[in-house]
A and B are shown apart, each in its own frame.
Chain A
Amino acid sequence: MTDRLSRRGFLASTAVALGTAGLAGCASETSGPQARGQGDAPKEVFTAPSRKLSGSLTILMWSHFVPRHDKWFDRFAADWGKRVGVNVRVDHINTVDVPRRAASEIQARQGHDLIQHIAPFSQYEPAVLDMNDVVQEASRRWGQQIELCRRSSYNPNTRRFYCFCPGWSPDPGNYRRSMWQQAGLPNGPSSWEELLTGAAEIKRRTGVPCGIGLSPETDSNMAARALLWSFGASEQDAAEKVVINSPEAVAAVEYMTRLWKQAETSEVFSWVPASNNQALIAGKSSYILNSISAWRTAMGTNPKIGDDVFFVPALRGPKAALAAQHVIQQWIVPKHAANPDAAKEFLLHYTANFPSVTYQSELYDLPGWPSLVPQLNGWLDNDPFGAKPPNKLSLLKNAASWSANIGYPGPSNPAIGEIFSTNVLPTMFGRAARGQVSARQAVADAERQMNAIFKNWRDRKLVGG
């Protein structure tokens, strides 16, 4: 009996250990440092709801890359519920599972009252409530919403806000200063051309490649858009017409081919969203495009490397210097929601407390209404979480000026969402880089796919052009 128990115990503990290791490994980004003093945390505010609330409120949202945020959020939501007489339940799931969960709830016409995702969610417009009243109220209270948040939540064709977008995260360049010093660029690259020459030089000298992804995943999608915009190309124009097939897009694809051949390896074709973080921290990549989370992770797990990671704003191309947003908050209230009033009131309360959101996410989430977080520039100049130097993130003070929404210069419509989800752009760049087709052919093939997708959504009257 003792033998059987001990064997069982051994198996159980092995399973638990493997499971724990697995879960830890699954996390694409993790929290790193602690705040230097809890006194820095902003005070929460409460405004009484405009109407009497009751019942329950269920919220489905991602597991934030910064675990501290979720602990804070769950407590914050529960506290609000107690004050207004609503029983709040928050379900956190992996961000990649949110779309399929939302899809199944909307098909079943039952589920959570409030759903949050961090990528374009415009295809749900027919099944969600218009958030115009919430946006109007937020703008009345806190002034103008930044353009990329507005474009990521408003459909100009239907004149509806299909979601509420109170926050976002930028996507700066992350580079290893010690490596770029050797290439004569201690402050990192400032243009795509410098990226090519510097990264190629680093790879030649040290064997460490650049880490701009060409894989069917989120970060590669962001990088593809940044490159296109900087070369003067885009998927659609402001009127939502497909304009990808342009000499500028071909030039961007040709550039990416050169970058891959001279400064990268095949690994960028195999990456998942966490891979570029891992590569940067492991010293296997000299430059990546990502949020600040890889660096925050390194600050906690390997401060020496964390201190060597620095940031640059969007790289300058022949026509512009623009990066895609990294994360965009998309809060939807499905039509089936049992308590839409509570959902909308909670969103206003959450937005009013955006200083806490920004702080508890370790400056990962930036406000969609900048007036809400007057402390932000102070934090970015003097990081409360121990950045070395303390002003390492100061370049994010004007991040909104060099960041754009997915779909820029048009809105983040459902066609753009499908192009994003089916990885049309990373595939376009990747096929040319691999030499499977010419740059011109890759762009033409992508245009064919995009036209089909746009036509499909235009027929549903959700896309203009």
Chain B
Amino acid sequence: MTARRREGVPRAGLADREGFLAWAMLLPSVVYIVALVGVPFLLAVAFAFSDVTTGDPSYDFVGLRNFTAVFDDGVFWRSLGNTLLFTTSAMVLIVVFGKILANILVADFRGKWLVRFLVLLPWTTPVALSTISWLWFLDSIYSPVDWVLRRLGLIEGNVVWLGDPGTAMLSVVLVQTWRLTPLAAVIVMAGLVAIPRDLDEAARIDGAGFWRRMLEVTIPLTLPVIAVAALFGAIMTFTDMTVSYVLTRGGPTHATDVLASWAYFRGIEGGDVGQGAAIALFLFPILLAGAIAILRAVRRLEAQ
């Protein structure tokens, strides 16, 4: 060591130690995740086994009482079914529209920047703000959507999108799809631009048309990325309550209540934090299982 110093080699500092640097750079993310995800999660677990209410923060352990009460509640099961329907439908639509949009975004045409800007707009707008806009678009009296449809002669009276269980769920799914499609498009776009051009050209030379190239070259090669887009879409839909809460407040007759919104109604508006936490906690194992399944599928696809 002394000999090295003598030769003019500087002493290795903290900045040269890869192990230290790696941890130093990871630390902000770790602190962020622990403080804003880990601690609230543990708190939710603790609350789910307690009798904490909005008006009484003192902690008393009540065992599985909250879970038993939640399982006995028909609205919980309805919300669980709605959550699965909401997530599955929105995820399929997000992936399909995301793929179509990604294809448009990678193409060369005039005004591409404008299209990209417009496409990304729903993703960049705060969710509460954009959903309030949709609330007005779908208003039972002043809906401009209905006005256009009436002008086109497609309907006579207003549809009342949010007043019927079927159209209400359709509206919630479509607004969520509108909101998350840009994210899926950007993810898929990254996969598309990574495909070597010579593969596509080779397929063209072999006489493959658009659909054949799409189905046998593009989609198989971007499948892992599409799966990641699906995973993001699923997680962000499964845990979302904003769209359902703002558009319908879970109505009509709980037709659009999802686990997250029902947890909020019970826990915060109803005051029973313990039961609200128990409902919210139910999101975790389902999400975990879904995420593991999708990530395993992605790894398998990558291995192929």
Contact = CB atoms under 8 A, between A and B. Distances in A.
A215 B249 contact: yes
Interface of A: 22, 25-26, 99-100, 102-103, 106-107, 109, 123-128, 214-217, 265-272, 275, 278-279, 282, 284, 414, 417-418, 421-423, 426-427, 430-431, 434, 436, 445, 448-449, 452-453, 456, 459-460
A227 B165 CA distance: 24
A378 to B, nearest CB: 37
Given A214-B252, A267-B140, A427-B254, A123 B271 contact: yes
Contacts of A445: 74
Given A266-B160, A269-B164, A423-B249, 5 more contacts: A126-B56, A417-B270, A422-B269, A434-B253, A436-B253
A166 to B, nearest CB: 21
Given A26-B132, A414-B271, A456-B272, A279 B253 contact: no
Interface stretch (B47-55, B115-123, B176-184): B47-55
Nearest to B53: A123
B161 interface: yes
21 contacts: A22-B132, A25-B136, A103-B273, A124-B55, A126-B53, A127-B56, A128-B55, A267-B140, A269-B253, A270-B162, A278-B141, A279-B141, A414-B271, A421-B265, A422-B265, A422-B266, A422-B270, A423-B250, A423-B251, A427-B254, A453-B270
Interface in B157-179: 158, 160-165, 168
B52 to A, nearest CB: 8
A430 B265 contact: no
A127 B69 CA distance: 24
B57 interface: yes
Candidate in A124, A216, A282 with the most chain B CB atoms within 10 angstroms: A216
B249 A125 contact: no
Given A123-B54, A125-B55, A271 B265 contact: no
Q: Tell me the interface secondary structure of chain B in the complex.
A: loop
Contacts of A434: 165, 252-253
B163 A267 contact: yes
A99 B268 contact: yes
Contact of B271 (A265, A267, A418): A418
B248 interface: yes
B269 A271 contact: no
Contacts of A267: 140-141, 158, 160, 163
Contacts of B248: 216, 270
A215 B69 contact: no
Nearest to B74: A445
Contact of B56 (A275, A422, A427, A460): A460
A284 B69 CA distance: 42
B253 A282 contact: no
B141 A216 contact: no
